[in-house]
Structure 1
Amino acid sequence: MTSFADFANVCREIENISSSLEMTERVAEFFKLVDTEELHIAIYFIMGDVFPDWSDYDLGVGTGLFYTSLSKASGFSVDEIKKIVRDKGDIGKTTVEVIDKRSGSQITFDMFNKLKSKLTLNDVYTTFKKIAAINGKGSHENKLKMLQYLFSKTTPEEAQYLARLVLEQLRIGVGEGIVRNAISKSFNVPSELIERGYMLTNDLGVVALAAKKGGIDEVKELSIQIDRPIKLMLAQVAPNILKAIKDMDNAAIEWKFDGARLQIHKNFDDVTIFSRKLENITNSLPDVVSYVKAQVTTDTVILDAETFAIDEDGKPKPFQEILKRLRRKYDIEMTTRDIPITVKIFDVMYCNGKSLVDLPLTERRKVLHNIITDSSSLSVSDQIVTDNVEKVEQIYFEAIDDGHEGIMIKNPSSPYTPGKRGNNWFKKKPIMETLDLVVIGGEWGYGRRTNFIGSFTLACHDEKSGEYLPIARVGTGLTDENLSELTELFSSLILLENGRNLEFKPEVVFEVAFEEIQKSKNYASGYSLRFPRLVNLRTDKSADEIETLDRIKDLYNSQRK
């Protein structure tokens, strides 16, 4: 078995490497040494994840619970730990210090050290799964005991990286790209095959295991699996309609609905629904489950869809209304009655045991029409294929007049590329495109807003370094009610607190409107937003879906033109 100490040593080495090529080489060496049974765990951990994206497991450990567990394992008080965090500016380094100075009165912990009992990767992962499975009465105390147990068995070096994993803030600069290339190097499988395997399985652990066991042939056999969500295909912003369709012989035009993305899996009589963030939200949408069972005629299928709330006249309600449905855990029947929804199916990725992602859009649409019986509640979205710009503009204004966001412009011959934002799908909306940015920090307010978080620091994602780079701060225009709700939301995500300044776990996504993008030396991204304002809290999006630095650069350059 692979010791957790080996993992911690690799992390320490990688933190001191600046070259992505060197980093890839070191990760590849580590993967070669990891036992086959633990390879998938090593893949998740090295990227700072505890479980894969599609997993129903959620560790559910906030900073409060973490500080308490560290306190009990070290003999330091929670207040002492918080002070060290403020001084060190890093939860990992704080953990090293308090574990290193662990109270001698912790007899049980000293016994562990004398026995030289070592944690393995599997020990840590198994304990994480047990923590994630704990719920109900006494869950806080039981999770606390499990965390205390883990920290009691670590050396200070191990504790540093264990702490970061618990809060899913490893921050050693290893992202999907480095892991993909490292798997390729470790097991002599071309990186493009590793990438394709990842697109189809949404799990680099599964891909690595296939590469190690069967090499190229086994990786080629990887495919979509029912009930395991894949990443959704993404669209780029179209600066104008003419530019979007100029490279297509014909363009497939669909309405862009003001709703929430759904990925629907039907496995005979079982229906599972995943959100855009690949969270299982089936229980919140019993009406959609019944629609799918009644109207989708094939045995097994994976569908891409959009759902939106409607009023008594059949017109779309604001986006926030559909979010109420997706968030609801109680009184679901009442909410289903009060907020009726419509589902529009626009793509299919899998049907009756076969992956369809390599088929052109036109062929996938034929499959849709063959397996779905349309109704007012669930139907295949309308689509018109044309090269006529005036016709496209007409459809665009019809969508706007009906209360939706605009249109989608798609290449009819394009395959379905999970998780990719290429030149095959474009979206056109009437206002300057808003940006989806992750909140990484904040600041306590002044005066009567002293007890509220008064402003929030927003970041884009640098795909090369894997870092979140600040680009704006938003706070104006928020009511006391808004700030109260946001303060409650972010209270469990605080990683560091230094005076009035806060650092958050990068998890919450804001949709932000702005006047223009400017060059700036004040932010690490090199850019800033003029007059940013909060439009929406995007609970349907995760931090890995936010704007990239490259896209910010493209938007800035297109502005200047």
Structure 2
Amino acid sequence: MTQPRGDRGSSPAGVDVNEDDTQYMAGGMTLEELDEHYPNRPRNHSDTLPFHVLFETLFNPLNEHKKSSGPRIPRTKLGPHGPSKLSPHEQRRHIIERFISRWRNDVGDDIFPALRLILPDKDRDRGVYGLKENAIGKLLVKLMKIDRNSEDGYNLLHWKLPGQTTASRMAGDFAGRCFEVLSKRPMRTEVGDMSVREVNDHLDKLAASAGEKENLRIFEEFYQRMNAEELMWLIRIILKQMKVGATEKTFLHLWHPDAEALFNVSSSLRRVCWELYDPNHRLEQESAGVTLMQCFQPQLAQFQMPASFQKMVEYLRPTEEDPEYWIEEKLDGERMQLHMVEDDNTPGGKRFAFWSRKAKDYTYLYGNGFEDERGAVTRYLKDAFASGVRNLILDGEMITWDPETDKIMPFGTLKTAALAEQNNPYNNKGPRPVYRVFDILYLNDQPLTRYTLRDRHRALEKAVVGVRRRIEVHGHEVATSPDAIEPLLRKVVAEASEGLVLKNPRSMYRLNSRNDDWLKVKPEYMDEFGESLDCVVIGGYYGSGKRGGTLSSFLCGLRASENHIHAGANPEKCFSFFKVGGGLTADDYAEIRHRTDGRWKEWNPKKPPVEYIELANGTAEKPDLWIRPKDSIVIEAKAASVGPSDQFALGITLRFPRFRRLRSDKRWDQGLSVQEFQDLRRRVEEAVKDKKMNVERRKRRPTKRAKKELVIAGTDGKPVQFAGEKTNMFEGLEFCVLSESLKPFRKTKAELETLIKEIGGRISQRAVPSSGMILVADKRVVKVASLIKGGGADIIRPLWIKDCLAQHDDSALLPYEERHLFYATDEMREMARQHTDMYGDSYARVIDVDELRAIMNGMPKNEESDFDADEFLKQLEERGHGLPPLRSTLFRRCVVHVRAPNVDDLNALRLQHYISFGGGRLASGLKDESITHIVLLGDEDERQDGAITVRKELKGRRKLPNLVTGRWVEDTWKEKRLLGEEKYIQP
């Protein structure tokens, strides 16, 4: 018996009505808080599914359809999937949909207990476990009473190493290695009886555990009630390393169409599951935007692409009217969002909250108000905002600033600096956290994500006054040419910075998106140190995942110089210098293995090979294996710059090192020495100075202001206003934009929506087919695929909007043509066909040359016609009508071979074009017996030699072609009639 969906006040027999509440209360909320925040939360009518159902029906089937190959884990009870014609992506979606359907039917509408196990890295409600691979390995060794030095004990505690027997295939996959060890000594072979709810209860206890003894007790409970495969998946959940072949976006969308949008603005799985449990209840548009005091998923910069600076600028979509793009310094800090609201209960009247990119709450560190004694940042912000600013949301980077050197310190010093600021406030000498703001998303009750970056930055500059070295607006350079990138990149590299970020000032803010509107430029583009860094490999590190069990990165060193040898050092000794793993291909790894096989030795920290290798003291980089320099190889590396480091022997290392190639032509003693590198570094620094790395700061071009786009609080106190409509072409029409627009009208989804509003249209985020709403899409994204599957939807390409604007008529809308339809019903397609002729030429629209050419190329040729053009022209001549002076028929009865002394002769190419356009046929050689003319080029001697050669080759042919000079072709073309050959014959 199941409880009716509408009645959640009672429960079926045998099910505790408060069991979910008890679980969530253990997660950190009281019952009163649950009722206050989620009064309408769903209640499951039955207990949760057994934990083993998760991996039997979800994790394992999803892994079966992963494109990437990996270690094969024995599967249990996968169920019959049978042959399918669905793509791997569609099969994965089908697996998830079946699981969701089962949960709704067998358990109820609250899927949060399952989803927090499926997506453990997205669950912000459970505390951290404080357990990594090594700690879990030690717990399992104690739990199973395994000798640490036994084969299995060794394999668990050295999980990155290949292992002694079968474990080698699980190297780098800690959970997989645990499976192999656990399967030898299981407490049970069949799946256990723990439910999803019970697993969550125990994980809550594990997150709240006081130490190793309590951790061991909790793991013992898991061990007794789970088999090896269950424990393997449990360990992956604890480590938050699921990798089941489907992203959180797929899971969220299949649970509810608006789930991803709500997660992007709240970062809360709990809220998504409890507010969007009914697929028929859609999220209100105002609820899909950023909200004060709720963490959101920020926009991210696209990873660096292997493209030229020119290509990267093209990705930012500059136009002739607006060619600008922005260049910002990429900061070495932690991405941080700041929320501020008015609050009478907070001393100072303003309450603050800070969240990192991963949604970790840092308010405890940086402060919740002006008077917060533990606030490392907020206590300095009283004068940071313009008058009239009541609330806002800022996006930026928290960095560490060193007043002594007046420079940004590395990211790893941030938390230490913040704690020091808490304990010793107003210390003007020590490092301190500084908040660099580069975006504003909310101001005085108004979301700004739909405005362009340019408009948002104007708002930011007026809303945030700043406090020097506490909170500052991050600057940018305005550029219009790719040439501006390299000087700035040289400058930031010289200052040991992270790199640059290129931004499109016309772009909207896109939550939880990594797209071409923001592009990273890392220093790998710089070539200063890329030419001669040939270093000796002295150590190796095992990889994880796909590279598990093999060496995936290498420790490289500099050879001892003469002064070291004179001081008593071994001539073979090397000093650790940098670690490199990027840039190697599968062939590179294979070649390195081939050249070093059998020469590697395990690193023994108690007895390091100090005779051959010198590392730094303390927390130095220590390899898993080492190799004697004379048995090793030399590799060439590329780097951006050299920086200080306590991880390597010389106190310096390469920044952003990258493997270039294996120097098989060099012996180990031809690798770079310490002295040679110091000489090279000095030369490079001098060269950099010659190139004027410290470029002058460019003046910002004044930007054209259109209509009054934004009114910022603090000037006249009014809220931000929309720019206004440019035309009324779309007045009365409602649009739902489902995807970005592709070439030749490339625009982001947000840009399309803004354009539609400027033309008078209204925007809806909810697609309603057959309602008069115009659905716009250019890609088969999930929402589009869902509408197509449902049938009855007409989806229009954004190209229709472009064509409407191109007509220069503000009142007339173009009818749809077939080229405007992305997907349509039969009725719509038939209607669209009536608006063009049989070849696609529009009746209502002026077309350009490119489209006309495409239409003409698409016209079918009438293969069955018996019309013969040559015969027709011949009959005209015979009847005495003559032909008009058309150059296209000048050489129609000629077969011509052009002979030039130089194959690259441009004059020969020009004459060949004349002949081809004039209807003649070109012969590539002399074997064609239909040749009528041979055109000889060059000076008089070259033509004479050519004539002699041709006559020899054609000796014996019954009828010789006319041997003429190039002047015959040129004069014929000029006179527009075929001239006689007599005066052009080559003697």
Which TM bucket (shorter chain)? 0.5 to 0.7
* CA RMSD in angstroms, aligned pairs only: 4.4
Deviation at 1:154, TM superposition (A): 2.0
TM, length-normalised to structure 1 = 0.66
State the Cα deviation string for residues 329-356 of structure 1 (Å, max 9, x = none). 8545459741145432110233455543
1:159 is aligned to 2:226: no
Determine the C-alpha separation between the residues in 1 that align with 2:180 and 2:485. Answer: 60
The 3-state SS of whatever aligns with 2:137 is: helix
Task: Work out which of the residue numbers 270, 290, 301 in structure 2 matches 1:224.
Answer: 290
How far, CA to CA, are the matches of 1:399 and 1:75 in structure 2?
54
2: CA distance, partners of 1:126 / 1:400: 50
2:363 matches 1:272: no
Aligned to 1:27: 96
- State the distance in 1 between where 2:111 and 2:283 align: 16
Deviation at 1:207, TM superposition (A): 4.0
Matches within 5 A, 1:250-399: 250-268=323-341, 269-285=350-366, 286-292=375-381, 294-296=383-385, 298-312=389-403, 315-317=406-408, 319-320=409-410, 322-327=411-416, 331-332=420-421, 333=423, 337-352=429-444, 354-377=446-469, 378-383=471-476, 385=478, 387=480
Find 2:60's aligned residue among 4, 12, 21: 12
Give the secondary structure class of the aligned counterpart of 1:295. Answer: coil
Letter in 2 for 1:271: F
What is the 5 A alignment of 1:422-501? 422-428=515-521, 431-432=524-525, 454-456=539-541, 473-477=553-557, 478=576, 485=619
SS of 2:505's equivalent in the other structure is coil
2:508 aligned with 1:415: yes
8 Å Cα contact 1:3/1:118 also seen in 2? yes
After superposition, the Cα gap between the structure-2 partners of 1:123 and 1:309, relative to the gap in structure 1 and judged at 3 Å, is: same
Residue of structure 2 equivalent to 1:514: 658
Q: Which stretch of structure 1 is more off in the superposition, 23-32 or 78-87?
A: 78-87
The offset of 1:30, in angstroms, is 1.2
**How far apart are 1:456 and its partner, in Å?**
3.0
Residue 469 of structure 1 and its aligned partner are, at CA, apart by 13
Which residue among 264, 270, 277 is the counterpart of 1:199?
264
CA distance, structure 2, for counterparts of residue 512 and residue 460 of structure 1: 22
- Which residue is equivalent to 2:201? 126
CA distance in 2, matches of 1:284, 1:489: 35
Instruction: Please tell me the residue identity of whatever aligns with 1:120.
Output: S
Secondary structure, counterpart of 1:265 in structure 2:
strand
Per-residue deviation, residues 234-270 of structure 1 (Å, max 9, x unmatched): 1454755544444312324243054314313224344
How far off its partner does 1:133 sit?
2.5
Query: Structure 1 380/127 Cα, relative in aligned 2: closer, same or farther at 3 Å?
Result: same
Q: Name the CA shift for 1:152/1:296 in 2 (closer, same or farther; >3 Å).
A: farther
Taking a change above 3 Å as real, the CA distance of residues 259 and 186 of structure 1, as seen in their structure-2 partners, is closer
Distance 1:67 1:406 in 2: 38
Instruction: Give yes or no for contact 2:338–2:354 (8 Å, CA) kept in 1.
Output: yes
Describe the shift of the 1:458–1:423 C-alpha distance in structure 2 as closer, same or farther (beyond 3 A): farther
- Alignment CA distance shift 1:26-1:281 (3 Å): same
CA contact (8 A) 2:263 2:296 kept: no
Report the CA distance shift for 1:312/1:194 in structure 2 as closer, same or farther (over 3 A): closer
Q: 1:151-201 CA distances to partner (integer Å, 9 max, x unpaired)?
A: 222244422322332333444x3331xx433444455x3xxx554444333
CA separation in 2, counterparts of 1:75 and 1:400? 53
Q: Could you tell me how far 1:204 is from its partner in structure 2?
A: 5.7
CA distance in 2, matches of 1:299, 1:152: 56
1:14 is matched by which residue type in structure 2?
Answer: L
Return the letter of the residue paired with 1:305.
G
Contact 2:335–2:398 (Cα < 8 Å) also in 1:
yes
* Aligned AA (2:194): L
Question: What amino acid maps onto 1:323 in structure 2?
Answer: G
Asked if residue 143 in structure 1 is aligned to residue 215 in structure 2, the reply is yes
Counterpart amino acid of residue 333 in structure 2:
A
Secondary structure, aligned partner of 1:422? strand
Q: Name the aligned partner's letter for residue 475 of structure 1.
A: L
Structure 1 gaps of 5+ residues are: 104-108, 435-444, 447-453, 462-466, 491-509, 519-561
AA paired with 1:63?
A: E
- Kindly tell me: are residues 67 and 486 of structure 1, through their superposed partners in 2, closer, same or farther at Cα, counting changes over 3 Å? same
AA at the equivalent of 2:49: T
Secondary structure of 1:475's aligned partner = strand
CA contact (8 A) 2:391 2:444 kept: yes
Using a 3 Å threshold, how does the CA distance of structure 1 residues 142 and 2 change in structure 2: closer, same or farther? same
User: TM-score, normalising length from structure 2?
Assistant: 0.40
One-letter amino acid matched to 2:300: M
The answer to whether the 8 Å contact 2:49/2:195 transfers is yes
2:308 paired with 1:233: no
Which residue does 1:63 correspond to in 2? 133
C-alpha displacement of 1:424: 1.2
Q: 1:266 to 1:315 in 2, by over 3 A?
A: same
* Residues 384 and 68 (structure 1), Cα distance of their counterparts in 2 relative to 1, 3 Å cut: closer
3-state DSSP of counterpart to 1:231: coil
Give, in whole Å, the separation in 2 of the partners of 1:201 and 1:411: 26
Q: Which has the higher strand share?
A: 1
Secondary structure of 1:266's match? Answer: strand
SS of the counterpart of 1:255? strand
Q: Deviations over 1:488-530 (max 9, x none)?
A: 999xxxxxxxxxxxxxxxxxxx974225489xxxxxxxxxxxx
Q: 1:515 to 1:311 in 2, by over 3 A?
A: same
Conserved 8 A contact 2:192-2:226: no
Shift of 1:468: 9.9
Identity of aligned residues (%): 14
Which residue matches 1:534?
A: none
Cα deviation, residue 130, structure 1: 2.3
**Residues 388/17 of structure 1: CA separation in 2 closer, same or farther (3 Å cut):** closer
C-alpha contact (below 8 Å) 1:95/1:159 kept by paired residues: yes
CA offset digits 1:107-146 (Å, max 9, x no partner) = xx99xx9xx98322122123222222234xxx22122222
- CA separation of 1:44/1:512 partners in 2, compared to 1, >3 Å: closer, same or farther? farther
Please identify which structure carries the higher helix content: 1
Q: Could you tell me which amino acid in structure 2 is paired with residue 132 of structure 1? A: A
Deviation at 1:312, TM superposition (A): 4.4
Summarize the alignment of residues 96-135 of structure 1 with structure 2, pairs less than 5 Å apart: 98=182, 101-102=185-186, 118-135=193-210
Cα pair 2:326 2:504 within 8 Å, conserved: no
